[in-house]
Structure 1
Amino acid sequence: MNRNSGIFLLILILFCACKQDKEGCVISEKVSGIPLELTIERLERPLFEAESEEDIAYFLEEHPYFSEMYLRDDLYPSIGHLVSTLYGIPKDTLMQELYQEVNTNFPALDKLETDLLTAFKHIKYYYPDFEVPKVYTFVSGFTTDLYMDNEMIVIGLDYFLPSDHRFQPPDLPKYMTDRYNRDHLVPMIVTAISSRYNKTDLGDNSLLAEMIFYGKAYHFTQAMLPCTSEEHVIGYTPEELAACYANEDFIWTQLIEQEAIYETNPFEVRKYTGEAPFTDAISPDAPGRVGRWVGWNIVDAYAEEKDLDLVQLMNEKDAQKIFMNSAYKP
C-alpha cells in the first residue's frame, strides 16, 4: 500500500475485536470499598449570582488557593482591582448567556462526581499516598479548560458544552472541540494526572520515547477507568478507532519503512504524535496522533508479556526496553 495513494481503509469492525469489552464492567470491591469522598463545588454560581462587590470579596476570602493559583490574584494591582474585574463579568450579556447555557447543560454533577471518585479510588489503590484534590467548576469565558495541580482541579464547564452548541472555544480547532464533552472530561483529567507517575528518560527525545510516554498515559487512564471505552480514553471517534485497528499493520509498516521511531527532530516527531486532524506522515486518512495509539498498543503488549503491575510499568523509564521486550506485532 502506497502512502501517496491516500488509501486508508475505513473499516468498521466490531468492538469485540478491540482490547476490552466494557459492557458489564464491574469495579473490584477492593477499590470500591476505599473510603474516599468527593464533592464538586460550583464556583461559577457565587460569581454570577453575586449582588455586590462585597459578595465577590467574601468569595475570594473563602477560596484563597483558587484566587491565588487559578485567578492569579498576584497579577492585579490590588485585590480590589480583582474584585471589580470579577464583579463586572456577569454584567456582560454574552457571559451571562454562557452561564445560563452551562446551567442548562450541567444542571447537576452527580455522574461527574461518581466517575471522578471511581478514578480517584483506583489511583489511591495503586498509589496509597495519593490525596484527593479539591474539585471546582467555573465559567471562565473560554479562558481555561482545565487547571490542575496536586491540591486543586478546576473544570471550565463552558469548554465542555455539546459540540454542536453555538458557544464554542475560539482557540481550538473543531477536530479538538469535538472531544471536549462530558464523556471525555474524566479521561482527560486522569490522563493529565498520569504524568505524576509516568517516569521517563529526559535524555531520550525520540519519537519512540514520545509514543511510549503517551502509551503509558493511556494505559494508566484505562486502569483507573476500567469501564471507560477506548475511544473516550484516546479521544477518537468509534470510526477512527476501528480504522486504526483495521489498518494497524499498514500504520506500523509505514513507521518502520520511514525509520521514524528513532527520529529526534521535534518537528518530525510532532507529525506522528501532535494534535492534528490527520497523520499525513502515515496517510491523509489516518486520524491525528496515531503515533500515540501505536505507543499504547506497545505498552499494553509489554505489560502483558512481562506480567507487570501498573506501578512497575509506570516506573519503567526506558522506552527502548519497553519496545524491545513487548513482542509487539500488529
Structure 2
Amino acid sequence: MEFFELIKRTSVRLLTFEQIKANFMRFIRFSLYSFLLLLVFSCQKSTEECQLDPKILDQDLNLQFTRLEDEFFNAKSAEDFEFLIEKYPDFAEDYLGRSLYSSPDTLISELIAIHQDSAMNVLYDSVKVHFQDLSEVEKDLENAFKYIKYYFPEFKVPKVYTFLSGFNSDLILSEDLIVIGLDYFLPPSHEFQPDLPRYMAERYDSPYIVPMIVTAISSKFNKTNPADNTMLAEMIYYGKAYHFTKAILPCTSEKYIIGYTEDEIAECYANEEYIWSHFVENELLYETNPFDITKYMGEAPFTDAISTKAPGRLGRWLGWNIVDDYQFNQDVSLVELMDNPDAEQIFRQSGYRPRNPNE
C-alpha cells in the first residue's frame, strides 16, 4: 500500500480522482525535494520564533526540585527511611501511599527490600550515569511554570521530585507535586527498558520529560463538553493540549510535543490533503463509535485504516492543525482558547484548509 492511499472518489475539494492521482504522483516525484525544503523552512521558523519572552521569565518563582532517588538509595537503616518519610510527607502519601499500609514499619520494610534488591541497585547506577546533571530539565520546568503562571495566575507551582520507580510509573502529577520516574527516561538504546511497545519506548527520553509534563498540566485548563463524544471533540481536545504545550514551550520542537519523528512530521505535512480527504470522505469527524475513534486517536505504531506507513494518533495531529488555524484566524488568547469547550465552533471558525505540498 502506498503512503496515505487515496480513496477513489471525488474529494471534498471537488477534485477528480485523476487530478488527485496526478498531484499524488507529482508529490512522489518531488518528495525528497519537498522534504528538504520543509526541513530548511522548519529550521528557519524555529530560529525566528525561538525567543523566550524576558517579561515572562522575569517573574519570581520558587521551584522546589529535589532528587529523591539519591536520598533514598543512600539511606542505610530503618531510621534513615523513617526520617525521609517524615521529611517528605507529600511524597510519602501521594507516591508511596503511606496511608495504605497497616503500619509505618510495613512501608519501611518494603523500602529496605527495594534498597537491597540487586537489580534496583544496577538500575540506580544507570540512572546516576545518565542523569548526573538535571539542571537543564529543572531550568526548562521553571521557565515552563513561569509561562503557565503568566497566562493562568491561579496556577499553583507544584513541588518536583525525581525518583527511581522500578518502571512502575513514568510521571505522577497532582496539583501539589510531580514525581518523575527517571528510569523510564533512560536512552532508548539502554539495556534496561520499560515494558512498552518499541514505538512508544522511543518517546521515553530526557528531551520528552518537560513537554510530557506540560501537556499533562494542560488538562487542568482544557475545558470540554462532556456531552460531546464525537471524534471531532477528541481531536480538538488533543489539538488544544498540543497548542498549549507549544505556547508554554515555544522553543521546543514539535517532535517532542506529539512524539513523531522529524520524518513522520514532514510526511504528514506533505500528505495533509490526503489525510483530510480520508477523514471527510469516511465521515469520521462526527463518528461516536469508541472503537473507530481509537483507530485514529489511540496509541498505535501506525494508522492502518490509512496506511501502515502513516504514524499513529493522526487524529490528534490533525486536531492540532485545526486548533492552530482557529487561534490564528480568530486571534484568541491562549486562555480564551482553553476556556472554549465547543469543539464544533472551534472547527467551524478555524477556516482550516489542508496544506497542498504542490502549491
Band of TM-score, shorter chain: over 0.9
Cα pair 2:6 2:274 within 8 Å, conserved: no
State how far apart, in whole Å, the 1-side matches of 2:294 and 2:212 are.
20
State how far apart, in whole Å, the 2-side matches of 1:4 and 1:219 are.
30
Cα pair 1:303 1:326 within 8 Å, conserved: yes
SS at structure 2 position matched to 1:251:
helix
Paired position in structure 2 for 1:120:
145
SS at structure 2 position matched to 1:142:
coil
Q: TM-score, normalised by structure 2?
A: 0.88
The equivalent position to 1:255 in structure 2, one of 276, 279, 302, is: 279
State how far apart, in whole Å, the 2-side matches of 1:202 and 1:271 are.
21
Paired position in structure 1 for 2:18:
none
Matched, 1:136 2:175: no
**% identical equivalent positions:** 53
State how far apart, in whole Å, the 1-side matches of 2:326 and 2:165 are.
42
Paired position in structure 2 for 1:15:
39
Cα pair 1:220 1:310 within 8 Å, conserved: yes
**Structure 1 residue 39, shift from structure 2 partner:** 3.7
| Cα deviation 1:278-328 (Å, max 9, x = unaligned) | 011221111010110000000000011101110001111110101011110
State how far apart, in whole Å, the 2-side matches of 1:284 and 1:261 are.
21
Cα pair 1:36 1:121 within 8 Å, conserved: yes
Alignment of 1:4-43 (within 5 A): 12-13=35-36, 14-18=38-42, 21-23=45-47, 25-43=50-68
Q: Which runs of 5+ in 1 are unaligned?
A: none
SS at structure 2 position matched to 1:153:
strand
Paired position in structure 2 for 1:158:
183
Cα pair 1:207 1:269 within 8 Å, conserved: yes
State how far apart, in whole Å, the 1-side matches of 2:313 and 2:118 are.
38
Paired position in structure 2 for 1:320:
344
The equivalent position to 1:175 in structure 2, one of 179, 190, 199, is: 199
Q: TM-score, normalised by structure 1?
A: 0.95
The equivalent position to 1:93 in structure 2, one of 97, 114, 118, is: 118
Paired position in structure 1 for 2:19:
none
Matched, 1:190 2:218: no
Inter-CA distance 321–19: structure 2 relative to 1 (3 Å threshold) = farther
Paired position in structure 2 for 1:311:
335
State how far apart, in whole Å, the 2-side matches of 1:224 and 1:20 are.
20
**Structure 1 residue 156, shift from structure 2 partner:** 0.1
State how far apart, in whole Å, the 1-side matches of 2:167 and 2:5 are.
42
State how far apart, in whole Å, the 2-side matches of 1:296 and 1:318 are.
15
**Structure 1 residue 88, shift from structure 2 partner:** 1.2
Q: Which runs of 5+ in 2 are unaligned?
A: 9-23, 355-359
**Structure 1 residue 16, shift from structure 2 partner:** 4.8
Alpha-carbon RMSD across the aligned residues, in angstroms, is 1.8
Q: How many pairs does the alignment contain? A: 328
Paired position in structure 1 for 2:267:
243
The equivalent position to 2:78 in structure 1, one of 35, 41, 53, is: 53
Cα pair 1:159 1:169 within 8 Å, conserved: yes
**Structure 1 residue 255, shift from structure 2 partner:** 0.4
State how far apart, in whole Å, the 2-side matches of 1:47 and 1:33 are.
34
State how far apart, in whole Å, the 1-side matches of 2:41 and 2:341 are.
30
State how far apart, in whole Å, the 2-side matches of 1:52 and 1:173 are.
38
Inter-CA distance 168–270: structure 2 relative to 1 (3 Å threshold) = same
State how far apart, in whole Å, the 2-side matches of 1:305 and 1:110 are.
38
Paired position in structure 2 for 1:199:
223
**Structure 1 residue 32, shift from structure 2 partner:** 1.0
SS at structure 2 position matched to 1:155:
strand
Highest Rg: 1 or 2? 2
Query: Match of 1:124, as an amino acid?
Result: K
